[in-house]
Chain A
Amino acid sequence: MPRFFFDRYEDGQFFQDEEGVDEADVRLAEMEAARAAFDLAEECLQEGITSVKINLRDDEELILSLEVTSNLERRG
């Protein structure tokens, strides 16, 4: 199975995936990236982080970049 890496940015702060994850194919890796972006965005918002970006790559190149942003407005 090919290995994919899911680097992430939280409000621009970079976190490199050094281990990677084995996925059967690129389609499943893209699904995982999408799930991760939304999954993390929900939790990060509770910590005041409004932007989560996942960069999916294999050993050689960037495959997909997915960003989820939240617009948080409080009254008063």
Chain B
Amino acid sequence: MTGPLATALITKLTAANILDGEDIRAIQGLPIQRRDFGPQQIIVRDGARPKECCLIAEGYAFRSKTTLDGQRQILSLHIPGEIPDLQSLHLGVMDHDLTTLTSCTLGFISHAAVNQLNRTRSNVSAALWREILIDAAIFREWIVNVGRRPGIVRMAHLLAELRQRLESIGRTTDGAFELPLTQHDLADCLGLSTVHVNRVLQELRREGLIKIDRGACHFLDKVKLEERGQFEPIYLHQHPSPKVVDAKVLF
């Protein structure tokens, strides 16, 4: 059964790309194999040589690297509709871990099937290429965040980004979104100690900007929160690009 799995991908791709009916039908026709994972399970390990890509249909996942002395840095967070290891299509070996954050429903698509799709549907090929570029733009923003912003700004920026990405795929409710990260996870995203994370969350609450209740994050003042986080969403490139006439050379 590929329907619901393909729907997650279509929702994500059409949020920032223009696809026509034939493109949608081609995605719906992809052979996608469903597998369910529990939280904190490695999907693809550093050093692996996968022959398939992993589509997140439900749940959250993250990419990370771990230093020799056991310190983990979370490199990126991933939400439904994303294919966090799409780069494995052309880079044979994984250079980081891909792990579930929550329970996840995942869809695995063989590299052969993705390559075939790229050859036959130039719009889809361009959309996937664009997703990779946006992924790189988010990495650039995370480097600035971790390297140059004070703790409270880092946190506000991360929350603003996550909310914006989830909103674009219809995964917010009255502006609130699921935040299934522990303080340990947040610390590993932001390059802070857990004590520091605790402090900045308290400060954001004290300033009346957020409320976190039973795993859901509510922005009490979205404009001020985004200002606090120096958040400018342009790097998420969420507006659709013009339809591609011939992008066969891209993949």
- The reply to whether the CB of B193 lies closer than 8 angstroms to some CB of chain A is yes
Q: Is the CB of B193 within 8 A of A40?
A: yes
Binary contact track A43-61/B, C-beta < 8 Å → 1, others 0: 1001000000010000000
User: Using a CB–CB distance below 8 Å, which chain B residues touch chain A?
Assistant: 70, 150-151, 183-184, 192-196, 198-199, 202
- The dominant DSSP class at the B interface is helix
Between A and B, how many residue pairs show CB distances below 8 Å?
A: 39
Which residue in B184, B195, B202 is a CB contact (below 8 Å) of A40? B195
Which residues of the other chain, A, contact B184 by a CB distance below 8 angstroms?
21-22
Q: B193 contacts A39, CB within 8 Å? A: yes
Contact pick for A39, options B70, B183, B196, CB 8 Å: B196
Give the distance to chain B from A41, nearest Cβ to Cβ, in Å: 10
Of A19, A22, A32, A46, the contact of B150 (CB 8 Å cutoff): A46
Asked if A6 meets B150 with Cβ closer than 8 Å, knowing A19-B183, A21-B184, A22-B184, the reply is no
Residues of A within 8 A of B (CB): 6, 8, 15, 17, 19, 21-22, 28, 32-33, 35-36, 39-40, 43, 46, 54
Q: Is the CB of B196 within 8 A of A43?
A: yes
Contact A8 B183, CB 8 Å, known A39-B192, A40-B193, A43-B151: no
**Contact (Cβ within 8 A) A8 B199:** yes
In the docked arrangement, what's the CA distance between A39 and B199, Å? 11
Given known A43-B150, A43-B151, A46-B150, contact A6–B195 (CB-CB < 8 A): yes
Q: In the complex the two chains form, what is the Cα distance from A61 to B192 in whole Å? A: 25
Given the known A-B contacts A19-B183, A21-B184, A22-B184, are A36 and B151 also in contact in the complex, defined by CB atoms under 8 Å? no
Given A19-B183, A21-B183, A43-B151, A6:B194 Cβ within 8 A: yes
What is the minimal beta-carbon distance from A53 to any residue of chain B, in angstroms?
11
Is the pair B194, A15 in contact by a Cβ cutoff of 8 Å?
no
Q: Could you say which of B151, B195, B202 contacts A32, with CB atoms under 8 Å apart?
A: B195
Chain A residue numbers with a CB within 8 Å of B70 are 28
- CA–CA, A22 and B182, complex, Å: 10
20 contacts between A and B (CB under 8 A): A6-B194, A6-B195, A6-B198, A8-B195, A15-B199, A15-B202, A17-B195, A19-B183, A21-B184, A35-B193, A36-B193, A36-B195, A36-B196, A39-B195, A39-B196, A40-B193, A40-B195, A40-B199, A43-B150, A43-B196
B194: contacting residue among A21, A43, A46, CB under 8 A: A21
Report A-chain residues with C-beta under 8 Å of the C-beta of B198: 6, 17, 19
A40 CA to B183 CA, complexed, in Å: 16
